[in-house]
Amino acid sequence: METTLRGVGVSHGVAIGEVRHMGTAVLEPPAKQIPEEEAEREQGRARQAVEAVAADLIARGNLAGGEAQHVLEAQAMMAQDPELIADVDRRIAVGSTAERGIYDAFAAYRALLANAGEYLAGRVADLDDVRNRIVARLLGVPMPGVPDSDEPYVLIARDLAPADTALLDPTLVLGFVTEEGGPTSHSAILARALGVPAVVALPGAGEIAEGTVVAVDGSTGEIFVEPSDEKRAEMESAAAARKAALSASTGPGATSDGHKVPLLANVGGPADVPAAVAAGAEGVGLFRTEFLFLDDSKQAPTEAKQIAAYRAVLEAFPEGRVVVRVLDAGADKPLDFLTPADEPNPALGVRGLRSLLDHPDVLRTQLTALSKAVEGLPVYLEVMAPMVADRADAKAFADACREAGLQAKFGAMVEIPSAALRARSILQEVEFLSLGTNDLAQYTFAADRQVGAVSRLQDPWQPALLDLVALSADAARAEGKSCGVCGEAAADPLLACVLTGLGVTSLSMGAASIPYVRATLAKYTLAQCERAASAARATDSADEARVAAQAVLSGE
């Protein structure tokens, strides 16, 4: 009998197939004591396992490339954290086995992250995966991970670690469903990059029996268990129609009446550029430069290394627009040479622009590298600061850009509600705004972007969030300046129409989402988008906003 479940759709598309469950996690190793003379040997075993797992994560990242590579390299750094390894050594020195020392040390670190709030709590799943891989290696048991199957299937898991998501084979894994996670979790971001339909934050998904046929709609978040023949035919027909529409839609982003809405790509470095170009991106709306810095948390990359990475991206978009976000360190991206180690709540502390203003040499080197990287290239470079709170922040950043001799437009990200509320003041110092809707939602609703339990408040359809977008867009329009969206909200085709109706002037997203957004925008006039935006803002919940916008656009 067909039943319907609803989670959060995070990656477009339809998948119909039998369920396979993720491999079980490693069991807790026994807490037995070892003789003192065995401690050194056990410490060596622990270190060898850590290095082997780190090497495996890096190798997986090299195979996956793109954003997945950056995520897995960060996970490898987590495995090799010196303080964590020191804690393992201490536990083994007082009698723990290598596997038990790893298990207990990671448990202590896990508790710290879980209580840190905001971004760091969202790294718990990544940490658990590293622990399981190390313990599995020490115990000599199979690694937890994606099941073996010769037939295509729908994968169900409690959560998916980046190491597993990055290497999913789209020819076998038709789609995936997780009980935890949120729309901006690593799994969601990597699913969109892979183009695999995905639904997250679906409590009880793990109770669906192995082999059960399910139909997954990655756009609506609906899961149909044992779908009827009629439902399967309906979803397959809709998927075919969507694919045809995508193939027919090409060229720059625009509404049906010719209102231009440039569609840009979010990238983490040169490896992400080919997919962006293939998708028809009109430029880059968010170049996340922090991934370059995460290669070595002990020191900043040299100016020469930065110039090479920046130029590789800039060269790919002649006559296009490339928006570079300067280093956004702190919170879930700590760097030993930059961010404080003892902040009680890093996401509310010294992060983003605050870190850079405390370390002007790091900011100066990056701005100088960008200035040199763009020399002689026919590209429109724009540089923006993360975590701008007020006009003083915006002025400090603009001054630093000018002092570095940077010939580019300077902008500010709107990720803090104060920046949206005072957007017109901030625009006295900078030339454009870019809305990071992931963080803006997190700070507006006090809802950790990685915690599935509060995903309702992370939904970018929340009317309060739309109000803040409208405030920012109105301020930019009044000042004759631009206001784009580079958060994951831009990847939702229906919401992209609403954002356009709110006055947003460009949309930036993962490359895989660009064709969907282009095709949807092309179906509606600007006036329809404006009416849909007004209808969405007039509601009191995200679900109501989505339904209201859809009703307007469908002519109901």
Catalytic machinery residues: 186, 486
Output DSSP code: residue 254. B
CA distances from 63 to 68, 69, 129, 171, 172 (A): 9, 8, 19, 17, 17
- Helix (H) / strand (E) element for 39: namely helix 39-64
Q: Please report, as a single letter, which amino acid is at residue 197.
A: P
Cα-trace Rg, the chain: 24
Instruction: Reduce the DSSP state of residue 473 to 3 states and report it.
Output: helix
Q: Which of 178, 158, 129 is nearest to 26 (CA)?
A: 129
- Between CA 253 and CA 285 the distance in angstroms is 14
Residues 401 and 410 sit within 8 Å (Cβ to Cβ): yes
- Could you give the CA distance from residue 65 to residue 50 in angstroms, rounded to a whole number? 22
Count of CA atoms in the C-beta half-sphere (13 A) of 493 = 26
Euclidean distance between CA atoms 485 and 432, whole angstroms: 11
Q: Which of 411, 408, 401, 413 is nearest to 379 (CA)?
A: 408
* The two three-digit tokens of residue 189, written as one number: 């971001």
Q: Are 288 and 305 in contact (CB under 8 A)?
A: no
Instruction: For residue 119, give the nearest of 288, 327, 331, 290 by alpha carbon.
Output: 331
**CA-to-CA distance for 548 and 556, rounded, in angstroms?**
10
Paired sense of beta strands 173-178 and 198-200, if any: parallel
Q: CA 275, 276, 278 angle in degrees (round to 5)?
A: 65
